[in-house]
Amino acid sequence: MMTRALVFLATAVTIALVASLPIAGQGSSAPPLVITALNGAAPTGYVTPRTPWGDPDLQGTWSSDDTEGIPRDRPPALGTQLYQSDQEYAARVKQVEANIVNRENNATSTFRNDFARRAFRQTSIIVDPPDGRMPAFTAEATKRRASRDRGTFGDGPFDSTEDFTLYDRCITRGIVGSVLRVVYGNGNRIVQAPGMVAISYEMIHDTRVMYTDGRPHVSTNIRQLLVDSRARWEGDELVVETTNLTDRTSIGGNGNGLRHSAKMVITERFRRVASDILQYQFTVDDPVTYEKPFTMSFPLTPLDGGLLLPYDCHEGNYAIRQSLGAERAEDDKVAADFSRGVIRPRRPVQDGNPQANGGGRAQGAGAATGAPAGGRGGAAPPEGDQER
């Protein structure tokens, strides 16, 4: 039903367009696709299947689960080594196999984190710069740091909904945060129709439509959380240039971390390199935020079970109300103690949480100041990409 609807929409739009309209960004300087799924080997001669209308067929329900164990940033000791040695790879294979046995047989609840079922030799998700490490933030970007970069993974302060990430608020994880692997919800469903490719993300239930019919980008005055994507086919490869971003999303797991600027451009590349592997790559170019562009590339493989599961999250979810309520309760307690002559630091939000801020002991805003309610301060917490 979805495919038929997309075909109808594509046909209607195409009739209204001039076929010769140029697509913006065709001169993009983003590096060519790095097919890490082949583990450094030469291409196998795989022939990409075609849709009934002749485009390369990328359709399927894909997942980044099999990138578990591949760090975003390469360990410095490995330098420019993109692929593991035979010994290192053998150890990763052994680890993946042990995890499969453990997680299939030792689940202790109805919730089980998703996990890898195959191993790849990649030493880092970042493939460019050659050292496989995230470029430094610019001085201007560092000035933008705020507690909202970590949301409920940090210590606040939480005075309004604007102090939370868009992920906390069940709005979006952004393009990058929706594909990078986290502990669950890593499904990505791709469907195609003439003139368009649509991708749906499992967590936060976003769907993007990437037009391949030659239409130009919308006006630069229009800014969107899931941006404006224009695509073209280069042989078997789908190249997507994404512009018109806001400055409200981030580059990181679940879209957490220091926010990028509205000037950022993302160039994505999709190519089916085997019947069960789709290579996905994106280049981030944001000179306002990063000292130089960088590229991440990794394989997407069939989602275990083959279906996107419902993600029951809604805008302004209960976590927001509860977090704000807890902060107001702490305001009242600090003020009550202050009225009795007891000056104490605020209790950090993450106090006692072993998964955040090294246990969260005395890390909250105002923790070292003894400030009463209304007098919070302190430096913004560091960027955080971890999942709950």
Question: In the chain, what are the domain boundaries?
Answer: 2-302
Tell if the pTM clears 0.95, that is, is over it. Answer: no
- 244-295 pLDDT, tens per residue? 999 999 998 898 999 999 999 999 999 999 999 999 999 999 999 999 999 9
Nearest alpha-carbon partner for 237 in 295, 197, 206: 197
Nearest alpha-carbon partner for 161 in 262, 248, 251, 263: 248
Given this model, what pLDDT does residue 302 score? 97
Given this model, what pLDDT does residue 388 score? 39
DSSP states along 312-375: ---TT-HHHHHHHHHHHHHHHHHHHHHHTT---PPPPTTTT-TTSGGG-TT-STTTTTT--TT-
Q: Is the dihedral of CA 129, 130, 134, 137 positive or negative?
A: negative
Residues 63, 268, 204: CA angle, nearest 5 degrees:
45
C-alpha 219/C-alpha 93 separation (Å) is: 48
* Contacts of 200 by beta carbon, 8 Å cutoff, 6+ apart: 188, 189, 191, 206, 207, 308
163 pLDDT band, cuts 50/70/90, is very high
Q: What mean pLDDT do residues 178-185 have?
A: 93
- Where would I find the H helices in 106-250? 139-142, 174-179
386 pLDDT band, cuts 50/70/90, is very low
| Residue 206 near residue 172 (C-beta atoms within 8 A) | yes
Q: What mean pLDDT do residues 136-147 have?
A: 93
Q: In the chain, what's the furthest Cα-to-Cα distance?
A: 77
152 pLDDT band, cuts 50/70/90, is confident
Tokens of residue 215, six digits: 């239409």
Residue 176, pLDDT > 80, answer yes
